[in-house]
Amino acid sequence: MKKIIPLSVFVFFVFTWLQAQNQIELEVQSTQAEFLGKTPPVRDLVPLSGTSPEKKKALKKTGSFLTL
């Protein structure tokens, strides 16, 4: 059992290496792109409300954001 695992890993890498040697070489002739515009930062996409006074008091009391 101890010899099967390293042997199977070795065989896997050998087959992977052999397959990588048979790749077709292609040459890119042209590339096209269209500018669609600029996306604003994520912080500006969703309006955020301020932290409620209850949550602020809980944070000062426990020192954790997880308490409500």
* Tens-digit pLDDT profile for residues 24-47: 778 888 889 899 888 888 888 888
Q: How many Å apart are CA 47 and CA 52, to the nearest integer?
A: 15
pLDDT attached to residue 20: 59
Give the integer Cα–Cα distance in Å for 15 and 9. 10
Residue 63 has pLDDT above 60, yes or no: yes
- Count CA atoms closer than 13 A to 11's CA, side-chain side: 6
DSSP code per residue over the chain: -TTHHHHHHHHHHHHHHHHHHTPPP-------------PPPHHHHS--PPPPHHHHHHHHHHS-SS--
Q: pLDDT tens-digit profile of 6-19? A: 888 888 877 777 66
Q: Is the pLDDT of residue 21 over 70?
A: no
